[in-house]
Structure 1
Amino acid sequence: MGKVRTIQRSGSRFYVDAETAEKVPGVTSIINMLPKPFLTYWAARLTAETAVQNLAAVASIAERDEAGAIDYLKNAHTRYTKLRARVGSDAHDLFERMIRGEAIGRVHPDLEPYRAHFAEFLEAVGPQLVRAEDVAWSDQHNYAGSFDAILRLRLDDEGKPDPDGRPHLVMTDWKTSANTYPEVALQMAAYAHADWIISPDGTREPMPTFDGACVLHITPEGWEFIPVRIDAEVFEVFLTLRRVFQWDRETSKTVLGKAIASGTRKLVTGTQRRSR
């Protein structure tokens, strides 16, 4: 296994071994096979809110360019998603530098709440960093993904942080979205059940056995460190989505054969003939 790079194909991310050219789908793209009907309602509501909150501006644009006004409104959810993704990416970069022990000076005001809350987390939980931002790769099930961190935590018998507690190896994910969703369990189960950890230089090591998983949910208002199930039952759901991804991208294109019988004459009724 050599270095790993990523490519985008038809809206999905694939991880590619630079030496063998082996290509496998990313964990997030596989989880996107889950139906999300609530997104339709969310996008419609955001479009309506954008129109109401910018009524005069939208009307002004529409007077000069009706198509432009329509594009402005229909892309409201895309602009919001890109903005949130940029904030999330910057916050993830900040978290990695902080947990690696880098001294952090002033940050952009938008990031300051995230910095402050992550510093509180480090003080309260006292995690030891084992790995960060490496690739989890599964030979057995053909998928890969980049995980946020593997931490060693000292916990008491109730699972609470305790500097004198027993060490636990924990797969960890940082989330900066408004809410934490159950799909994070599928994501981290996929990472934890992969075969290999691959470093940026292409070095690979066997994936260790984990004592559990946690998600650190940070928003401008506060933070929570939440345990997450990554057991065999959860992993089997992810593998089902892996098979759905295979169906969607490959198998579905092979199931319909060429017609073995057909007809081209259309029935013409007497009424149709008389009306000509």
Structure 2
Amino acid sequence: MGAVRTIQRGGSRFYLDPDRPEIKLPGVTSIISMLPKPFLMYWAAKLTAELAVDSLPFVAQMAERDRQGAVDYLKGASRRYTKIRADIGSKAHDLFERMIRGEFVGRVHPDLEPYRVLFADFLAKVNPELVRAEDCAWSDRYGYAGSFDAILRIWLDDERRPTPDRSGTPVLLMVDWKTSAATYPEVALQMAAYANADLIISPDGSRESMPDFDGAAVLHITPEGWALKPVRIDADVFDLFLVLRKVFVWDRETSKTVIGKALAASTAALVTGTQRRAG
């Protein structure tokens, strides 16, 4: 018995069953990537245009020496920005996990200090009980897997506000940390998938049934502040995730089988009289 491993295939992440390595399931985020996001094209174009305008002399000098290098520099603008944000997000997630487990973190990098202060404020004002963190949600029934951030128990008063003294009604929540500029609707698909998985697989490979949840929430935390927001994970949301699961199969498998070999085709390109005379 061992930990769940992941591999990358065709730009998608797959999770390998630790007991049955021949079984690999697509990751939740890879499935959700099937959702159309036309705004990304305009965002990437805007980022590239801004970089070109803001660094015009530098780009012009680069283009004189290496035109392709200048092209690559500009077209990589969105990729570099995404990587920087992803690196900060990963480090912040690691920080949150250590803090919610009660570890003393001490001094952190200046870029992470706002996240440390604000996450400590969240812990003080909500006082959640950590049930699980950074484990794998696994679904043999529907064929997917993914790593969730946390399962927390919090206590709410009659107005559905957290009671840090734990005097209210306990509720079990699937929780996700987000450090992006905003919270986006796709988080509901992500959390509905985790909450409706069959099993939780721990780092040591042990398995237990996924519990029944009272709901879900996203902790949106940026250097400016934090907010704990409820998230819908009902049947309608999960059904849409399952539609995307089918689209994933179409994109990765079925679409490659639907067009067969040509039944007939031309044997040579037509050469006109004009072309022959020119030769």
Report the TM range for the smaller structure's normalisation.
Answer: over 0.9
Measured after TM superposition, the shift of residue 18 of structure 1 is: 3.1
1:35 matched to which residue of 2? 36
Q: Distance in 1 between matches of 2:75 and 2:268?
A: 43
Taking only aligned residues, the RMSD between alpha carbons, in angstroms, comes to 1.6
Measured after TM superposition, the shift of residue 64 of structure 1 is: 1.3
1:201 matched to which residue of 2? 204
Q: 2:173 aligns with which of 159, 170, 174?
A: 170
Q: Distance in 1 between matches of 2:19 and 2:196?
A: 24
Post-superposition Cα deviations, 1:30-87, rounded to whole Å, max 9, x if no partner, equal 0000011100001011111111221222122112111111111110111111100000
Give the number of equivalent residue pairs. Answer: 273
Q: Secondary structure of the residue that 2:205 maps to in structure 1? A: coil
Post-superposition Cα deviations, 1:171-198, rounded to whole Å, max 9, x if no partner, equal 0000000110000000000000000000
Q: Secondary structure of the residue that 1:185 maps to in structure 2? A: helix
Q: Is 1:78 aligned to 2:79, yes or no?
A: yes
Conserved 8 A contact 1:3-1:19: no
2:99 matched to which residue of 1? 98
What is the correspondence of 1:203-218 to structure 2 with a 5 Å cutoff?
203-218=206-221
Measured after TM superposition, the shift of residue 261 of structure 1 is: 4.3
Q: Is 1:12 aligned to 2:15, yes or no?
A: no
Q: Distance in 1 between matches of 2:242 and 2:229?
A: 24
1:159 matched to which residue of 2? 160
Q: Secondary structure of the residue that 2:41 maps to in structure 1? A: helix
State the one-letter code of the partner of 1:146.
Answer: S
Q: Secondary structure of the residue that 1:227 maps to in structure 2? A: strand
Q: Secondary structure of the residue that 2:203 maps to in structure 1? A: coil
Q: Secondary structure of the residue that 2:226 maps to in structure 1? A: strand
Measured after TM superposition, the shift of residue 263 of structure 1 is: 4.8
Aligned residues: percent identity? 71
Q: 2:191 aligns with which of 188, 191, 216?
A: 188
Q: Secondary structure of the residue that 2:109 maps to in structure 1? A: coil
Q: 2:225 aligns with which of 210, 222, 228?
A: 222
Q: Is 1:52 aligned to 2:53, yes or no?
A: yes
Q: Distance in 1 between matches of 2:70 and 2:146?
A: 38
Conserved 8 A contact 2:18-2:205: no
Q: Secondary structure of the residue that 1:157 maps to in structure 2? A: coil
Q: Distance in 2 between matches of 1:227 and 1:69?
A: 45
Structure 1: gaps spanning 5 or more residues: none
TM-score by length of 2: 0.94
Conserved 8 A contact 2:138-2:199: yes
Conserved 8 A contact 1:2-1:17: no
Measured after TM superposition, the shift of residue 265 of structure 1 is: 6.9
State the one-letter code of the partner of 2:205.
Answer: G
State the one-letter code of the partner of 1:168.
Answer: V
Q: Distance in 1 between matches of 2:227 and 2:40?
A: 25
Post-superposition Cα deviations, 1:138-166, rounded to whole Å, max 9, x if no partner, equal 01011000000000010123221022111
State the one-letter code of the partner of 2:171.
Answer: H
1:205–1:261: structure 2 CA closer, same or farther, 3 Å change rule? same
Q: Secondary structure of the residue that 1:170 maps to in structure 2? A: strand
Q: Secondary structure of the residue that 2:37 maps to in structure 1? A: coil
1:129 matched to which residue of 2? 130
Conserved 8 A contact 2:2-2:203: no
Measured after TM superposition, the shift of residue 209 of structure 1 is: 0.3
Conserved 8 A contact 2:172-2:215: yes
Q: Distance in 2 between matches of 1:154 and 1:76?
A: 44
1:116–1:274: structure 2 CA closer, same or farther, 3 Å change rule? closer
